[in-house]
Each structure stands twice: as C-alpha cells, then as structure tokens.
Amino acid sequence: MDAMKFDKLLQETLEDFDANDHQSSSALTPLREDAFDLSDEEKISRIENDVANILETLGMDMTDDSLKGTPKRVAKMFVQEIFGGLNPKRSPKLSTFDNKYKYGHMLVEKNITLYSTCEHHLLPIVGRAHVAYISNGTVIGLSKMNRIVDYFAKRPQVQERLTRQVVHMLQSALETKDVACVIDAKHLCVNSRGIRDVDCSTITAEFGGAFNKTEVKKEFLEYLRLETAF
C-alpha cells in the first residue's frame, strides 16, 4: 500500500480527529491538498531563497565562502533527506509473504535507529523504535519494518503520531491488528533549548490487537529488556 492510499484510509477510518492539538491525537500528517503540485526542483528553489532570506535577516554575510552554498544545501536536505518522507513516491514497497514456516509467536525488531524532526521547532528527534507483530498467516521482510520507521520519521513529526503511523502501516500491510511499537527518543527542542534537560527522553507506545492483552504486552516489553547479540 502506498502512502497516499494509506493516508486516505486513515482519513476515512480514524475517529476523534482534533485539528487544534497539533494533530497529536491523529495518525494523519497535516498536509495540504496541493502538497505535491510542485516538483522537488521547484520546492528546492523556493526553500533556497527562503533560507537565504532568513540568514540575511539574521545578519549573516552571504558572500562568505562558508555561507554562500548553505541555502542550497539546506533546501536539498529538506526536500530530499530529512523531510523526504512527505513524498508518497518514497513510500517503501511492502512485499509480504505467506508464513510457510508456521511461526506463531511474536516477531520483534528491536533498536531501529530513529532520526526525525520535531514539527514545533524543527529540531532533531533521535532515538530507537521497537516494533513487533504476530503473524496472521502473512510475514514481511525484516528490513521493511526499519524502512517504515525511516519513512514516517522523515517528516516534520510529533512522536505520538509517528508511533501510530508505524503501527497502522504494518497493520495494513500484514492484514492483522496484532502490531505494536514503542519509541524512546530524545527531543533536542527539550535537550538543547528551553529547559535544556539533556538527560530526559520521551517514550510512546501503540499496542494493537493481541498486544493489548496483559500477558502479550508483558512478553513484548520483556523482549525489549534483553541485551542484543552484539
């Protein structure tokens, strides 16, 4: 399922959508209808000018060798890298397979490296995601879980929404509700500005289907406590 169809499905099925709480109650990324009318090249050109204006307003000498290429670099980074997950063309291809080996226990992908950007201050979010599912007759390649996390992380985000998006996309791909995700991440908007608490992190979780059962949830969380092999 591509991202455009996925977002449309969420729009039709998710309830209690509140547009006044930074969308944290919803798994929908707040995009305009015309979000993809401009090409990547056109977006880069516009953002390049905007970044140059910001730096000039701050008093920077944009003729300096160190700075004159910065607007273009930032614009390309925004469109092609850290916000590349906004473009549905970059949605991961989620090929699934029959569970021929009849594995009936949960599968856990731990310690998925997470780099995202807080949509409130455009500062980094850095952490780990832990994703699990119980097969309903279908399995997915291990790296696809990493790719789902990376795809939704590459957007202006709030951690609550990101956690839900990962779960909902896996549920759609695997055709099962039995999916869970826990994210533990540091937000530089807290760590490097404002209160400047460098030690705190934020934990969010989304449990679907069987993972809402106490014993299943406990098993999943116990797996997360295990030390990795290497």
Q: What is the dihedral of CA 71, 74, 79, 80, to 10 degrees?
A: 120
Q: Is 120 in the active site?
A: yes
Residue 59 and residue 101 share a domain: no
Grade residue 23 by pLDDT with cuts at 50, 70 and 90: very low
- pLDDT of residue 24 exceeding 90: no
Residue 75 and residue 97 share a domain: no
Q: Is 187 in the active site?
A: yes
- pLDDT of residue 110 exceeding 70: yes
Q: How many domains does the chain have?
A: 2
* Lowest-pLDDT choice from 21-25, 67-71, 185-189: 21-25
Catalytic choice (11, 56, 120, 175): 120
Q: Is 189 in the active site?
A: yes
- pLDDT of residue 21 exceeding 50: no
pLDDT the model gives residue 4? 54
Domain extent, residue 97, equals 93-225
CATH at 69: 1.10.286.10
pTM for the full predicted model: 0.89
DSSP summary character for residue 170? H
Closest CA to 94 of 36, 4, 170: 170
Long-range contacts, 161-168 (Cβ 8 Å, 24+): 161/23, 161/24, 161/26, 161/27, 161/28, 161/29, 162/116, 162/204, 163/204, 163/205, 163/206, 164/26, 164/27, 164/206, 165/27, 165/29, 166/129, 166/131, 166/206, 167/206, 167/208, 168/6, 168/10, 168/27
Residue 193 and residue 109 share a domain: yes
Catalytic choice (187, 200, 206, 219): 187
Residue 105 and residue 61 share a domain: no
* Lowest-pLDDT choice from 13-22, 90-99, 165-174: 13-22
For the segment 153-177, the average pLDDT, to the nearest whole number, is: 97
**Strands 202-207, 124-134: parallel, antiparallel or unpaired by DSSP?**
unpaired
Residue 118 and residue 69 share a domain: no
Catalytic choice (23, 48, 109, 118): 118
Catalytic choice (109, 119, 160, 206): 119
For the segment 103-107, the average pLDDT, to the nearest whole number, is: 95
Catalytic choice (159, 160, 168, 171): 159
Coil vs helix vs strand at 18: coil
Residue 155 and residue 44 share a domain: no
In a domain, 14, yes or no: no
Residue 109 and residue 44 share a domain: no
Give me the count of residues in the chain.
230
In tens, the pLDDT along 127-140 reads 999 999 999 999 99
Residue 160 and residue 51 share a domain: no
In tens, the pLDDT along 67-89 reads 999 999 999 999 999 999 999 99
In a domain, 34, yes or no: no
CATH at 136: 3.30.1130.10
Residue 51 and residue 164 share a domain: no
In tens, the pLDDT along 32-60 reads 999 999 999 999 999 999 999 999 999 99
In a domain, 192, yes or no: yes
Q: Is 159 in the active site?
A: yes
Closest CA to 133 of 176, 182, 92: 176
Q: Is 168 in the active site?
A: no
Residue 169 and residue 98 share a domain: yes
Residue 68 and residue 114 share a domain: no
In a domain, 212, yes or no: yes
Residue 216 and residue 147 share a domain: yes
In a domain, 215, yes or no: yes
Q: What percent of the chain has pLDDT over 90?
A: 86
- pLDDT of residue 11 exceeding 90: no
Q: Rounded distance, CA 157 to CA 192, Å?
A: 18
**Strands 106-118, 96-98: parallel, antiparallel or unpaired by DSSP?**
unpaired
Rounded to 5 degrees, what angle do the CA atoms 89, 93, 97 make?
A: 165
- pLDDT of residue 18 exceeding 50: no
